[in-house]
Amino acid sequence: MSTARVLVVDDYEPFRRFVCSTLGRAPELQIVGETSDGLEAVHKAEELQPDLIVLDIGLPTLHGIEAARRIRKLSPKSKILFVSQELGADVVQEALNVGALGYVVKAFAGSELLLAVRAVLADGQFISSALSGHHFAAAPGVTTLGVCPDQAVLSLVPRSTEITRRHEVEFYSDAAAFIVGFSSFVEAALKAGKAAIVVATESHREGILQKLQKHGVDIIAAIEQRRYVPLDVNDTLSTFMENDMPDAGLFLRVVGDLIAAASQTTAGDLSRVVICGECASILWAQGKADAAIQVEQLCSKVTKQYEIDVLCGFSLSSFYREEDKQLFQKICSEN
């Protein structure tokens, strides 16, 4: 497979680092440049003529969509993938109208970024699952590819990643993005008849509840049926932390008991339970990086042991120091 040269443009350094780290793990991709400024992105695109540009919308000096419009003239062979927290349908359509082939909502970048990149490089149009309720016109001659598991999309992903159960990490730019990501994960699980365990702060749990209700999910009934289990993250951490580190035995026992209880609503099928939480993120924010990494490792073990899906959420604001870079990559490697 030939190497695709990629330019990354985002003014929020932690997220730009996340994008570069994620794409850097793919052997067919090469990061040839990065910048935080819209006008500089235009200059770099003209200079480097990259195969792909991963582009934010809210950029200083020059708005991302205007930057894309200029780039299309100066580097016409460069494919453009927008990665933005903007959810407005009109903004997304405008991004596609200027020639972008893909649009990923930042809250979903952890699970969608590589898939989107491969779709766009294959001349397909990729639209984030966060926008699944909207219809967007594809550019002429473009094949529409979504995040639905159809063969066209899956064929773009290495077979090693084609697994039913997985442990994923997603990085959120702010609380709103966190709530969108977690509520979408829970909504999909509940609609599929699964049980969902959510371990989060009070404000995030409240936001998720409101978002689910807004989407028409009968979350009160799900709570009464014990198919939706909201838990406080600090209370949960207290059940398995010893001397500021997770006790592996306690962790596996606590999580195992939660899964077993939730599975009673799925006819005892443990694999039909999903978990999303921010335990590791809270530990990281408290300066307990080693503990956070161990929690991620234990979550991977739970995923394999029970064959369930686990989503771990992190705030990108926790990854702002240069010394965080190596630990940040360790977090990514556990998922």
| The predicted structure's pLDDT at residue 94 | 93
Model confidence band, residue 330 (pLDDT cutoffs 50, 70, 90): low
Reference 138, options 93, 204, 89, 199; nearest CA is 93
pLDDT tens digits, one per residue of 143-181: 444 443 332 232 233 333 333 457 887 777 678 888 888
Model confidence band, residue 134 (pLDDT cutoffs 50, 70, 90): confident
The whole-model pTM stands at 0.60
Calculate the CA 242 to chain-centre distance: 30
Per the prediction, the chain carries an average pLDDT of 85
* Exposed/middle/buried for residue 26 (C-beta within 10 Å: 0-12, 13-18, 19+): middle
Are the C-beta atoms of 273 and 197 separated by less than 8 Å? yes
Calculate the CA 121 to chain-centre distance: 20
pLDDT tens digits, one per residue of 67-115: 999 999 999 999 999 999 888 889 999 999 999 999 998 888 887 898 8
Strand 245-246 relative to strand 241-242: parallel, antiparallel, unpaired?
antiparallel
Calculate the CA 134 to chain-centre distance: 20
For residue 273, report the phi and psi dihedrals to the nearest 5 degrees: -115, 135
| The predicted structure's pLDDT at residue 163 | 36
| The predicted structure's pLDDT at residue 317 | 61
For residue 200, report the phi and psi dihedrals to the nearest 5 degrees: -155, 170
Q: Which residues pair with 6 in a beta bridge?
A: 31, 52
Model confidence band, residue 316 (pLDDT cutoffs 50, 70, 90): low
| The predicted structure's pLDDT at residue 147 | 40
| The predicted structure's pLDDT at residue 131 | 82
Q: Can you point out the beta strands (E) in the chain?
A: 4-9, 29-35, 52-55, 79-84, 102-105, 124-127, 143-145, 167-172, 195-200, 228-232, 241-242, 245-246, 273-277, 309-315
Calculate the CA 21 to chain-centre distance: 14
Residue 242 has a CB neighbour count (10 Å cut-off) of: 10
Calculated CA dihedral for residues 156, 52, 65, 176, nearest 10 degrees: 50
Percent of the chain with pLDDT over 90: 59
Question: For the chain, which domains are there?
Answer: 4-159 (3.40.50.2300), 167-333 (3.40.50.300)
pLDDT tens digits, one per residue of 286-307: 889 899 999 999 999 999 899 9
| The predicted structure's pLDDT at residue 320 | 45
Q: CA-to-CA distance for 60 and 290, rounded, in angstroms? A: 35
- For residues 310-330, average pLDDT: 62
pLDDT tens digits, one per residue of 14-41: 889 889 988 988 889 999 999 999 999 9
Q: Which residues pair with 314 in a beta bridge?
A: 171
